[in-house]
Amino acid sequence: MTALLEAPIEASESIPETTPETAPDALAGFTIGVTATRRREEFAALLERRGARVVRAPAIRLVPLAEDADLLASTRECLAGPIDDVVVTTGVGFRGWMAAAEGWGLSVDLSAHLAGARLLTRGPKARGAVRAAGLTDHWTPATESCEEVKQYLLAQDLRGRRIAVQLHGEPLTGFVDALRAAGAHVTEVPVYRWLPYRDTSPLRRLVSQAVSGAVDAVAFTSAPAVLAMLNAARADGLEDALLGAFGGPVVAACVGPVTAQPLVSRGVPVLQPERSRLGALARALARHLPEHSVTRLVAGGHQLEIRGHAVAVDGELKPLPPAPMAVLKRLAERPGHVVARSDLRMVLPGGPSRDSAEHAVEMAITRLRRALGPSGIVETVVKRGYRLACERDEQP
């Protein structure tokens, strides 16, 4: 079993700006939910600079354990004898451990014990924290994954070795059990924990928006955030609907394979960047959404590009309210074909009653035509419905 979350995104990580393959307005017209807690404003700003509309819904919070009895007990256990190996999973966690030890007056002893051990750092941020503490790192996996660290250790004779594993918010049960089964004495060091965000209403609203298709993507930077959103959906009876949305029109974007695991295990397709970094995740979204979530067609002699909450008419982006956008997307499913009013009524948000259905559809069409600007894009077919004024496709 691998770690349950990516390394927390730390302040030292730089977030590159746009690159040639991600235009400044690549995300214009799209709505993206951001579940991150740490550095969420920087990540949101990066998406917004590419034109996205961002919905902020923090899913989890990090709780330091500087005064936690479990952390103190684990630290004293490490100091009870020589340590052979220390697995450092995150930079922020290692720094928190050293700060807590200093507060207890144990920092000198802890540093001396760590200096005599092999320090296995999971990634560059963990390695940087070890070096900043004046210690020497022994090895870092190329994949930045706990799975590779586990395999590295299991390839050696672990019988009788004392190994400390710095946790990062969730138990590493499979990791620790494998080392113990190989004969190692393992001390788990719980430096902090992930808990649900205090105010769950933004996350619950994001669940509803994803289910209704009001967002085009949801970005995750940790597996606990994924699980928190699934739990929020389950509490409202929407878990199956949320998974269905992620399997359909809504992109689930994860910063790396560990974050993606709870969704992948449920059969959900996941968008991942090549590197587990916020900047790479933003660029992946900026490439993916324009390529896979845009409908392009010609209607009434005008070029249309239909995006999440907006349509570009001859290159000019025009935001649309939910009802006109729902009608436009339904008309665009079969360009040139007549769509009955009864059909359009079914896609209107809120599901109007039978008595108001006719008026609701007419109002949505009126607002759609007004927003589009040029006339002749949406045609009325008397007593039948409406159609986009374009060549009929090949569908029957």
Taking the chain (396 residues) in consecutive chunks of 10 residues, what is each chunk's mean pLDDT?
A: 39 40 81 90 93 95 72 95 95 89 93 97 92 96 89 97 89 92 96 86 96 94 92 96 95 90 94 90 96 93 94 93 93 93 87 63 94 92 92 55
Q: Between β-strands 162-166 and 85-88, what pairing exists: parallel, antiparallel or unpaired?
A: parallel
* Structural domain spans, the chain: 31-59+197-292, 65-77+84-154+161-178, 295-388
Query: What are the beta bridge partners of residue 56?
Result: 34
> Between 3.30.429.10, 1.10.10.10, 3.20.20.70, 1.20.1530.20, what CATH number should domain 295-388 receive?
1.10.10.10
Helix axes 354-372, 322-333, angle to 10 degrees: 90
> Between 3.40.50.12780, 3.40.50.10090, 3.10.129.10, 2.40.110.10, what CATH number should domain 65-77+84-154+161-178 receive?
3.40.50.10090
d(CA 195, CA 94): 19
What is 31-59+197-292's CATH topology?
Rossmann fold (3.40.50)
pTM of the model: 0.75
d(CA 207, CA 230): 9
Identical fold for domains 31-59+197-292 and 295-388, yes or no, is no
Sign of CA dihedral 155, 160, 166, 171: positive
Residue type, 378: V
The C-alpha angle with vertex 337 and arms to 333 and 341, in degrees rounded to 5, equals 85
Sign of CA dihedral 396, 301, 324, 361: negative
369 Cα distance to chain centroid: 35
Q: What length does the chain have?
A: 396
**55-58 long-range Cβ contacts below 8 angstroms, 24+ apart:** 55/31, 55/202, 55/205, 55/206, 55/209, 55/215, 56/202, 57/33, 57/202, 57/203, 57/205, 57/206, 58/197, 58/202, 58/203
d(CA 262, CA 133): 34
Residue 20: the pLDDT is 39
Residues ≥6 apart with Cβ < 8 Å to 322: 214, 309, 349
CB 163 within 8 Å of CB 185: yes
3-state secondary structure of 359: helix
Neighbours of 337 (CB within 10 A): 16
Calculate the alpha carbon distances from 74 to 79, 181, 316 in Å: 9, 20, 60
d(CA 116, CA 139): 15
Closest by alpha carbon to 15, among 217, 249, 277, 234?
277
Residues ≥6 apart with Cβ < 8 Å to 396: none
